[in-house]
Amino acid sequence: MGPRARQPRALKRKAKTGGEQDTKQSAVSTKPAKAQSKARSRVTKRPQKKQTVPQATHTDNVDDADPDLDGGVPLPASSATGLASTKQRALSNHEVPATSGSRSIPCIRSDEPGSARPPDLIFTHGAGGGLSAPALVNFAQGFANAGSKIVCFQGNMNLKSRTKMFSTVLDYEKQKNETSKSKVAFGGRSMGSRAAVLAAQEDKDVQMLILVSYPLTGPNGDVRDQILLDIDPGVDVLFISGDRDSMCDVKKLEHVRGKMEARSWMAVVQGADHGMNVKGGKKRTETIGHETGKLAAGWIAQRDATMTEMSVSWDNGTESVVGSGIWVQRGGQEIGQSQEEPRGRQEGGGKKGVKRRRNE
C-alpha cells in the first residue's frame, strides 16, 4: 500500500476553522430557543400565582372600638373561598346604586339582581372588617353553597347609618323582583348583628334574624342586651357564637335569651373566638365558617321551636365538622332536625309535655 497523500496545510486549517465555526454557530443558534423556553416558562407561571384576599380577621375582632380599623376591600369575583371537595357557588361583586342623599353600597352576592328568587338573607360585616373579612366570606360562601341566596353589603362604623342600609338594600331588591319581605332575613356579624336587630325593629315585616358573634359585652364592659329584649315576639332569632368569644359569654347570652320575648335558637361553635377562628390553621377555620353559613341556611328553611340548641365542633380524628345540623332540646337530648313548627300553633300543642320554647 502506497503512502497516503498528504493534504496541504492550508486545506487542514480551513477544515479545522470551518468545523469550529459550525460548532459556534450551532451553540449560538440554540440560545434563542432556550431564552424563548425560559420566557414561555415565566409567562405560563405568572397566571398560576394565587390571588389572595386581604386578611381582615384581626380587624374584625374589634367591635366599634377603633375607627381606624374600618374598611374592608370588596371581594374579587374569582376569589371565592372553600374546600376543593365542596361545590362552590361564585360570589360576585355588585353595587346598589346611589340614591338621593346616599352613596352607592358595595355588595357581594350569590346571584345577580333580578333573579327568579329574592335573596334569603341580607347580611353585613363587623365594625373593623369589610367584604373581604374571612369571617364574612366564609359564612357567605357556606350559605351560598347550601343553595340559598345571600347579599352582603359593606357599611361604615356608624351604627345608625349601617342600620338604614338594610332598608336601602331591601328596597333595591324589591325593585328587581317580587320580594316578599316576610321571607327575607336580616343578619350580620359583630356590630353588623346589632344593626340587623335595629333594622328589623324598624321594619316589622322582617321575621327572621341571624346574629353571628353578637357583641353582648361592649368595650367598656356594658351589656348590650336591651335591643335583644326589644325584639318583637313574632321574630325568630338565630345566634351563632364561639365559646371562646371574648365579647359574648355564651352563658350570659343564654341568660339574656331567657328574658327575650322573641323565640331564639343558639348554635355554639366549640373553640371559636369572636372572629370565628379556631386552632389548627386557616383551612380548618374556613371549613368551620362554611358550616356556620350552611346551618344558617338550613335554619331559615326549617326550624322547630322545641329544638333550639346546637353544638358544632371540629373532630381531629375524622378531620371534619361534627354536630352541625343536629338540634337538641334544651337539656341536651338529641333529636335531630325536623320540620318547622307552624307559626299559629298554640303553646303546649303537639307532644305531651313539650311546649313552645319561650326562652324560660
Q: What CATH number does residue 109 fall under?
A: 3.40.50.1820
pLDDT grade for 349, boundaries at 50, 70 and 90: very low
What is the sign, positive or negative, of the torsion defined by CA atoms of 255, 328, 275, 237? negative
Beta bridge partners of 132: none
Q: Is 61 domain-assigned? A: no
Q: Is 113 domain-assigned? A: yes
Q: Is 337 domain-assigned? A: no
38 vs 316, more confident = 316
Which cell is 291 given? Answer: 358550616
What's the confidence (pLDDT) of residue 99? 80
CA distances from 351 to 137, 284, 339, 356 (A): 40, 39, 14, 11
Which cell is 259 given? Answer: 328574658
Q: Is 168 domain-assigned? A: yes
82 vs 95, more confident = 95
- Give the pLDDT mean for 62-81: 36
Give the single-character DSSP code of 274. T
Amino acid making up residue 151: V
What's the confidence (pLDDT) of residue 332? 63
What's the confidence (pLDDT) of residue 88? 78
Q: Is 300 domain-assigned? A: yes
The Cα 60–Cα 133 span in angstroms is 7
The Cα 201–Cα 194 span in angstroms is 11
Residue span of the structural domain in which 114 resides? 104-329
Q: Is 119 domain-assigned? A: yes
Residue 330, helix vs strand vs coil: coil
pLDDT grade for 286, boundaries at 50, 70 and 90: very high
52 vs 222, more confident = 222
Q: How many domains does the chain have?
A: 1
Q: Is 143 domain-assigned? A: yes
* Whether pLDDT at 222 is above 60: yes
Q: Is 87 domain-assigned? A: no
Sort 191 into a burial class: Cβ within 10 Å, 0-12 / 13-18 / 19+. Answer: buried
What's the confidence (pLDDT) of residue 118? 82
pLDDT grade for 3, boundaries at 50, 70 and 90: low
- Give the pLDDT mean for 234-263: 97
Residue 273, helix vs strand vs coil: coil
Q: Is residue 136 within 8 Å of 287, Cβ to Cβ?
A: no
- Prediction pTM value: 0.71
